[in-house]
Amino acid sequence: MNEAPRPEPPGSIDPEVGSISQADLTVDTYQVIDADGSYDTERLPDLTEEQFQDLYRWMLLQRTYDERGTKLQRRGRLGTFVSGKGQEGAIVGSGFALQDQDWVFPYGRAAGTLLMHGLSLRDILLYWRGVEDASRMKGANVYGFAISIGSHIPVVTGAGWAMKLDGRDSIAFASLGDGATSTGAFHEGMNFAGVLDVPAVFFCHNNQYAISLPFEKQTAADTVAQKALAYGMDGIRVDGNDVLAVYNAVAEARRRALAGDPVLVEAVTYRRAAHTTSDDPTRYRSDEEVEDWERRDPLERYETFLRDAGFWEGIDEEAIREEVEAEFSAAVDAADAFEERNVEEMFAYIHEEMPPEVRRQYEEYAAFLEDHPEMDDYIEQRPKG
């Protein structure tokens, strides 16, 4: 046996050995409105003046929801809270491009997307109070929040595949953070989405941080959008603080998805709030960095556009603020009025229909509690704040 089977060091290497490199890629970031509010008239979406104005209202509602939700949690009236402050352009622009028959698979920040898709604000608040009933997402084509990072991506692919087999005119729409693109579930879901040509759009809010880890430390890829190529899919990179650019990008991605070409969209934005109300972002990012992104505020940019385009005159900002504040207050009151936990809840949601043995256990337990009212002293109801 040759004890030195390999040349050391290697001999001459063929200079014709080829490779592909991300350095050879050019991944443009699509924009309609520049950071200073100037805009490309050729790229304006085909919306009515009222629809342009309505986008601003939705963005203001998202900002109000984030600010008041954070305060509610600080006062002990929510278990935890996840803010989308700074990401309003990505949240609202993507939601505005969907259709009612589409299914949304959300992560925690995109409340505006869910509200315009028909989910009630009361139920979103109840969810952050830990009320099981809110996870049913009643009245809207919305799946449960993906709290485990990236875990919903294979589910989105499966749902999209089912839509394709049923011949439905709808897509599966996933919202996810940039950290999710570094998980195994993302790889598995994206791979099969490409193989099966499912009608799905994977919308990544690249807000620069996976909890406390900056983007450049969680992946060596220059962009999220380019990861689509590994799965034989198209990728779109868009300025996530530009609500019109996001609307155009997702509308185009949806059109391609319906034709059997799933798309990965990367919206470049910034999380100005903490990861959750349990996080202290001052430990891993500087004030200067946050202030730099504050100067790229999506609402201020869009307001500048509306003024320059002549659409601002039809907007009564004070009236809109009063309206969204009242809408949030009404949702809090409705959440407070939600009925107390019933013992049946522990049994009702395990199966679509309660099996005979589970029903027997429920009826036996309910009878026990009725016969022993002293047990009420040991039952803790969910907090209402």
Residues known to be catalytic: 271, 275, 284
State the Cα–Cα distance between residues 12 and 14, nearest whole angstrom: 7
Residue 47 C-alpha from the chain's centroid: 24
State the Cα–Cα distance between residues 266 and 246, nearest whole angstrom: 9
State the Cα–Cα distance between residues 262 and 20, nearest whole angstrom: 23
Which residues in 240-272 are b (16+ Cβ under 10 Å) and which e? bbbbbbbbbbbbbbbebbbeebbbbbbbbbbbb
Question: How many CA atoms lie less than 13 Å away from 365 in the CB half-sphere?
Answer: 12
Cβ neighbours of residue 98 under 8 Å, at least 6 residues apart? 104, 113, 117, 171, 173, 250, 254
**Residue 265 tokens, joined:** 């969209």
Sheet strands side by side (includes 172-177): 103-105, 172-177, 200-206, 263-268, 234-239
Cβ neighbours of residue 188 under 8 Å, at least 6 residues apart? 153, 154
State the Cα–Cα distance between residues 309 and 41, nearest whole angstrom: 10
Alpha-carbon Rg for the chain, nearest whole angstrom, is 24
State the Cα–Cα distance between residues 59 and 65, nearest whole angstrom: 10
**Residue 85 tokens, joined:** 């402050």
State the Cα–Cα distance between residues 339 and 342, nearest whole angstrom: 8
